[in-house]
A and B are shown apart, each in its own frame.
Chain A
Amino acid sequence: QQQVKQSPQSLIVQKGGISIINCAYENTAFDYFPWYQQFPGKGPALLIAIRPDVSEKKEGRFTISFNKSAKQFSLHIMDSQPGDSATYFCAARVGNQGGKLIFGQGTELSVKP
């Protein structure tokens, strides 16, 4: 019940295309859903995040869509660029547990020029 399931494991997209990564969860006590981006040789860094009372959040080319009833959320990268090539992790915060995050399995995105 604490798991966050992420798919696909890897994704290849042409430059200018849309990248879509999906996550699903079971625990209704999760209260915050961030996405982290990790470049090779670096630690993950927060990209964008959403709270469950909002259905969509957009920041530039990055959008989170959140479906509370289905317990699913997804990251959309519009106009994907080679510089977006990285590993993406969805996560869910466990409420009242000191900021503890449960991470998905990760998606390795490659954007071809």
Chain B
Amino acid sequence: DVKVTQSSRYLVKRTGEKVFLECVQDMDHENMFWYRQDPGLGLRLIYFSYDVKMKEKGDIPEGYSVSREKKERFSLILESASTNQTSMYLCASTEITSGRSVEQYFGPGTRLTVT
């Protein structure tokens, strides 16, 4: 079974703090993704990575950065947290077969509250 784990289920931070969200997958998947989930907006892609040290901006990268130093680990960084970054954050991974990915496997999510 594929397992995607996220470091925290709930997190409360203050405005201006630097926040690290960690994601680890155990299936040697090439591609990893960070989304935020907000009611009525669905899942929106923040960043994705298709290899170690490689990253691509998603649809809403402003205010976020990422790091992928090892294949199994993908970190999302909020350089200076703001209240509009209060959200559910979901990490996902997918393998590439014959040049294509099929299923994205999601972690349980981190509910971040910025006060």
User: Does A52 lie at the interface of the complex (its beta carbon under 8 Å from any beta carbon of B)?
Assistant: no
User: Does B64 lie at the interface of the complex (its beta carbon under 8 Å from any beta carbon of A)?
Assistant: no
Chain A interface main SS type: loop
CA distance A6 to B50 in the complex (A): 28
The contact string, 1 if C-beta is below 8 Å from chain A, for chain B 28-55, is 0001010100011111110010100000
Q: What's the nearest-Cβ distance from chain A to residue B103, in Å?
A: 5
Known contacts: A44-B43, A44-B90. The answer to whether A98 contacts B4 by CB under 8 A is no
Residues B43-92 near A (CB distance < 8 A): 43-45, 48, 50, 56, 58-59, 90, 92
Known contacts: A98-B31, A99-B31, A100-B48. The answer to whether A43 contacts B4 by CB under 8 A is yes
Partner of B103, one of A43, A46, A100, A105: A46
Residues of A that sit less than 8 Å from B by CB: 2, 6, 9, 32, 34, 36, 41-46, 49, 89, 93, 98-106
Known contacts: A98-B31, A98-B56, A98-B96. The answer to whether A46 contacts B44 by CB under 8 A is no
Chain B interface main SS type: strand
Residues of B that sit less than 8 Å from A by CB: 4, 31, 33, 35, 39-45, 48, 50, 56, 58-59, 90, 92, 94, 96, 100-104, 106-109
Known contacts: A41-B108, A43-B107, A46-B103. The answer to whether A105 contacts B40 by CB under 8 A is yes
Known contacts: A43-B4, A46-B103. The answer to whether A103 contacts B56 by CB under 8 A is no
User: Chain B residues with Cβ under 8 A from A89's Cβ?
Assistant: 42-43
A103 touches B101 (CB 8 A): no
User: Chain A residues with Cβ under 8 A from B101's Cβ?
Assistant: 93, 98-99
User: Chain A residues with Cβ under 8 A from B39's Cβ?
Assistant: 106
B108 touches A103 (CB 8 A): no
User: Chain A residues with Cβ under 8 A from B94's Cβ?
Assistant: 99
A42 touches B108 (CB 8 A): yes
User: Chain B residues with Cβ under 8 A from A32's Cβ?
Assistant: 102
CA distance A42 to B45 in the complex (A): 18
